[in-house]
Structure 1
Amino acid sequence: MDAERNSFTGRASRYARVSGNMTGVAAKMLGARLMGGTQDHDKNAMEITKALGNLKGPLMKVAQLLSTIPDALPPEYAAELASLQSDAPPMGYPFVKRRMAAELGPNWLQRFSAFEKAPAAAASLGQVHRARTPDGQDVACKLQYPNMDSAIEADLKQLGFVFQLHKRMKSGIDTSQINAEIADRLREELDYEHEAKAAKLYAITFANDPTVRVPTVVDDLSTRRLLTMGWLNGKRLLDYKTAPLEVRNRIAAALFRAYWHPFADIAVIHGDPHLGNYTVFEEDGEPAGINLLDYGCIRIFPPSFAGGVIDLYEGLLHGDDERVVHAYEVWGFKGLSRELIDVLNVWARFIYGPLLEDRVRSLADGTKPGEYGRREAFSVHKMLKEKGPVTVPREFVFMDRAAIGLGAVLLHLGAELNFYELFQTELAASPREGQADRQAAALAASGLAPTV
């Protein structure tokens, strides 16, 4: 068995670095509860954030994900955890050489005509080096940090601990399905062979689209922990933050399509939309579209779930309560009362809001990107505490995360578009009746299996 995969010593080291601090926070919280004191959630949240803040990597991804789900954590905790940064310190070149040799063999450097020693980007699970193949192709080599399997398992253990704390505070939702979904997707994200197939899936989906570019996968330079793809030149999204509105709208429309087209066409979403996963490419000196760079968090939905998303949208759009209830039932919500449906609709109307109005508008007037959805989540949190609990289906987790992430990215651009019209265009181009067949064909072509 691969010694690096989920080693006991790796997990033990990770546990030791987190558990001591977390146990201290928990003891304070439990002590206050036993003594009949009130909980200072703001202070507890800051202490948990401090306990986790020195750990980079997967736990930070989890923390930021949870900050977007209403009542997955108390609002005070969500606000604190959302501030955590997921950038890891880069590996030095001597270490990179050892890692590359482990993946491609001792003569790995001879397989490139150039390989930049300094990383071009560093993220939570790995770092990217720019290189060139002997045939002259510029490529991006994403190399995973060591012992990430152990880190994932240790961090998932701590995630369960945080969920247990929240459960004792009488949460409005049952987080068991959330926990299972996050665990499965994080483990999946460690497998760069899976990510390579996901990139191929998106390449098929956007093969004839001039506004969304997908990098090609270099299979003979890729492994489970090394993913090599064609280098796509582009500028940062934030470089266009003060560009003319027409330019910002053009970029925003491409971002919208990159999110919604795969969902409408084959029931797939990019579950981690954030600024670092996109760049803007130009043609003739003008922004023409976006490069979609990362495919580690791709969620493949059952077509029935995707149908429920559309049913909920249509139900809200036309005031059809029966269709709304049907959508929640298709998603897997169980035992919903009228009151709980009304609470869920508060969140649904927020998520779908820009798509329900047939007019040119901004995404959310007066809202900062980092605050997108926070007020609505707090409102839903309070109502669920009174009317719940409710079990959230696992498919909801990354659908929700992706919608909030996309909204925050679009807010950075300050775009003004008719989102209703854009969405209707996607629905018209990809009829629901054939979605299951289209998905099956695309998955077969890319080598991916449906998500369980």
Structure 2
Amino acid sequence: MPDTPKSDPQGSRGLRVPSGRLTRMARLGGLTAGVAGNMAAGGLASLGRGERPSMRGLLLTPRNITRVADELAKMRGAAMKMGQLLSMDTGDVLPPELSQIMARLRDDGHIMPPKQLKRVLEAAWGDGWLRRFKRFDVRPIAAASIGQVHRAQTRDGRDVAVKVQYPGVAGSIDSDVANVGALIKLTGLLPKGFELAPYLEEARQQLHIETDYAAEARSLQRFGDLLAGDGRFVVPGFHCDLSGPDILTMDFIDSRPIEDAVAEDQPTRGRIAADLIDLMLAELFDFGLMQTDPNFANYRYKPDTGQIVLLDFGATRVLSAEVADQYRRIMRAGLDGDRAGLVACAHEIGFLSPDVAARHADQITDMMEVVFGALTAQPHFDFADPALNRQMQAKGMALAEDGFVPPPLPVDALFLQRKFAGIFLLAARLQARAPVVEMLEHWISPSRSRPAP
């Protein structure tokens, strides 16, 4: 769940970030109460017309959607981040009706007004901070839920990107997550028996990690070391003298949004997709360290060199050799058409549990076989073909309509599934074809197994 700032926020409005914990609690509490009031009023109106009120209909009114999205966008921090997570295309945890409320957060954005930005930078660098720069662009080049990014040039000639964390967001994570959880429960749209608490707790812990810019700096440097000899990727250099708990300064890399590569020819698009898939598999099976957020803004493209620029390492996660082995075995079973092996590995990872009904377990196994069948059907998988996505959506809808409630997944599996799905979506956006099975065979070879520590 990293905070990859949205590029080109020229239409964003300067709006002060609420920084006091009590202020943020009051605003979120007021938001929940306001939505509840709107729903109650709508329910009474329906009853007055002799109609039976629908929870979905009461919640998904333009007034409520606008109120929730606008308030979370104004607050930023964990409140806005939770909204973005609920609206992610890669997330299947919550019903689509609930995701609709938050979908606008992918486009809405506010920035700190210059006066508030100045106070944050003075607190970090002292009163004379501006004398350290030849140029500092007050208008950010990107802005998102936890911070915004400014381009600058230092007196000694370094061209840098300065990521500035919004004031107050780190100290308000616990209360923000609790209040957004209350808002979700208010909707009544969660499947019966679904346990939201574990997901909220993981979101809380992850958001604390994401606001730790010192930890992100270490991950940035670690990935820089891991990929130092790989000419396919560019990792920005870290500038320690201009960084701190709320500031992360790195090289500015001139590049374009990764989606712009859709204009390239098919071999180039296929190479970009293959490089991203190969990096993801290396993270799992070799590095034991994964940047777990597949947000498209985390990847940029340098047309002049063909390189992929990697950004935002706030959601970097250590993966054990045991987890890598579980995924190696489930991929091996899928590629071999070994249904019994798939079922055994699915239980081991946590996709299936003894509480899952037999018919639902069969349906889930069928879905896994559909995926591997599509991958093995051709040497180069065509991500532009929507057939697999449509099949999976139809089977997922059938599962939900049959009353399936997913068992609580282990955290590692949640993040891995999110990364897999996100890279798939990015490759589809690029309309790429890539030799997926060939790459999987390479990485799941027993000779590439990581020894357990």
Over 3 Å counting, the alpha-carbon distance change for 1:416 and 1:135 in structure 2 is same
Aligned to 2:336: 318
- Corresponding letter in the other structure for 2:65: T
- Shift, 1:290, TM fit: 0.4
Helix, strand or coil for the counterpart of 1:141?
strand
Separation (CA, whole Å) in 1 of partners of 2:106 and 2:150 = 21
1:411 aligns with 2:428: yes
- Aligned-partner residue type, residue 420 of structure 2: A
Give 1:446's aligned residue.
Answer: none
Which of 226, 238, 255 is the matching residue for 2:276?
Answer: 255
Asked if 1:297 corresponds to 2:315, the answer is: yes
Partner of 2:243: 222
Residues 331 and 444, structure 2, Cα contact 8 Å, conserved in 1: no
2:150 and 2:161 in contact (8 A); partners too: yes
Structure-to-structure mapping, 1:336-415, within 5 angstroms = 336-346=356-366, 348-349=368-369, 355-366=375-386, 375=394, 377-383=396-402, 385=403, 387-388=404-405, 390-415=407-432
Correspondence for 1:152: 173
Q: Which residue of 2 aligns with 1:445?
A: none
Residues 269 and 402 of structure 1 are in contact (CA less than 8 Å); yes or no, is this contact kept in structure 2?
no
Between the aligned partners of 1:368 and 1:326, the Cα distance in structure 2 is 24
Q: 1:129 to 1:389 in 2, by over 3 A?
A: closer
Distance (Å, rounded) in 1 between the aligned partners of 2:413 and 2:399: 15
C-alpha distance in 2 between matches for 1:86 and 1:150: 25
Q: Whole-Å Cα distance in 1 between the matches of residues 314 and 43 of structure 2? A: 38
Please name the residue that 1:11 is paired with.
Answer: 24
Give the 3-state SS of the residue equivalent to 1:130 in structure 2: strand
SS at match of 2:93: coil
C-alpha separation between the residues in 2 aligned to 1:374 and 1:22?
30
How many residues of Structure 1 are paired with residues of Structure 2 in the alignment? Answer: 426
Q: Is 2:220 the counterpart of 1:203?
A: no
Correspondence for 1:78 among 89, 93, 99: 99
Offset at 1:93?
2.7
Superposition map of 1:85-234 within 5 A: 85=106, 87-165=108-186, 170-171=191-192, 173-234=194-255
- 1:146 match: secondary structure: coil
Please give the TM-score of this superposition, normalised by the length of structure 1. Answer: 0.82
C-alpha distance 235-170 of structure 1, shift in aligned 2 (>3 A): closer
Cα distance change of structure 1 residues 19 and 294 upon mapping to structure 2, 3 Å threshold? same
1:63 corresponding residue in structure 2: 83
Q: What is the one-letter code of the residue matched to 2:228?
A: A
2: CA distance, partners of 1:410 / 1:378: 24
Residues 320-364 of structure 1 deviation map (CA, whole Å, 9 limit, x = unaligned)? 344323323332454245334224335545666664445213225
Give the alignment's Cα RMSD to 1 decimal: 3.4
The alpha-carbon distance between structure 1 residues 75 and 96, as it changes in their structure 2 partners (threshold 3 A), is closer
Measure, in 2, the Cα distance between the counterparts of 1:199 and 1:350. Answer: 37
Matched, 1:44 2:52: no
Mapped partners of 2:373, 2:205: distance in 1: 30
Are the equivalent residues in 2 in contact too, given 1:211–1:288 (CA < 8 A)?
yes
What SS class does the counterpart of residue 171 from structure 1 fall into? coil
Distance 2:51 2:61 in 1: 22
Map Cα deviations across residues 394-448 of structure 1 (whole Å, 9 max, x no partner).
32322222222222222221111222122333334982243x45xxxxxxxxxxx
Is 1:236 aligned with 2:257? yes
Q: Name the stretch that deviates more: 347-356 or 323-332.
A: 347-356
How far did residue 97 of structure 1 move? 1.9
- Over the matched positions of the two proteins, sequence identity in percent amounts to 26
Could you tell me whether the CA contact under 8 Å between 1:265 and 1:430 is conserved in 2?
A: no
Q: Which amino acid counterpart does residue 131 of structure 1 have in structure 2?
A: A
User: Distance in 1 between the 2:257 and 2:92 partners?
Assistant: 33
Q: Distance in 2 between matches of 1:354 and 1:143?
A: 44
Equivalent in the alignment of 1:264: 285
Which consecutive unaligned segments of at least 5 residues does structure 2 have? Answer: 1-16
Structure 1 unaligned segments of length 5 or more: list them: 438-452
Which letter maps to 2:35? M
Question: Is the counterpart of residue 330 in structure 1 residue 343 in structure 2?
Answer: no
Contact 2:284 2:324 in 1 (8 A): yes
1:53 aligns with 2:69: yes
User: Match of 1:278, as an amino acid?
Assistant: Y
Aligned-partner Cα distance in 2 for 1:102–1:261: 40
Post-superposition shift, 1:26? Answer: 5.9
Does residue 288 of the first structure (1) align with residue 301 of the second (2)? no
